[in-house]
């Protein structure tokens, strides 16, 4: 499997959700609207990374918040496994996948 990736997962309370996977063990469960919101943020940052210093999202359906620092090399995500760098190619790919999933 190639990461990052996005897949739909069922949730008994929220219906279909999006699972944004950065690795086999690092993932974030997002509502469809949260996925679209993060997609718009990623798209804006990929176009001009100076638009924000930090991205933060507290997903309603997951136990893990999404917090990341934005810099010239990409988005540095804070995870329970430590920091995980998403290159700008990764950010653009996730933006596309979150928008259409």
* Model pTM score: 0.91
Report the share of the chain in percent with pLDDT over 90. Answer: 81
Alpha carbon distances (Å) from 4 to 8, 51, 55, 70: 14, 23, 17, 17
CA dihedral angle for residue 61, residue 95, residue 75, residue 90, rounded to 10 degrees: 120
What pLDDT was estimated at residue 101? Answer: 63
- Rounded to whole angstroms, the Cα distance separating 78 from 59 reads 15
Q: What is the pLDDT of residues 11-53, one digit of tens each?
A: 998 999 999 999 999 999 999 999 999 999 999 999 998 889 9
Average pLDDT estimate for 83-100: 95
């Amino acid at each position: 499997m190639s990461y990052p990736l996005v897949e739909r997962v069922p949730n008994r309370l929220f219906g279909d959700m999006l699972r944004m996977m950065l690795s086999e063990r690092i993932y974030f469960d997002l509502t469809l609207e949260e996925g679209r919101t993060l997609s718009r943020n990623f798209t804006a940052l990929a176009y001009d990374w100076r638009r924000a210093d930090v991205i933060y999202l507290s997903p309603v359906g997951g136990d893990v918040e999404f917090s990341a620092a934005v810099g010239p090399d990409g988005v540095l995500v804070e995870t329970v496994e430590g920091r995980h760098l998403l290159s700008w190619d990764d950010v653009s790919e996730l933006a596309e996948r979150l928008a259409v999933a």
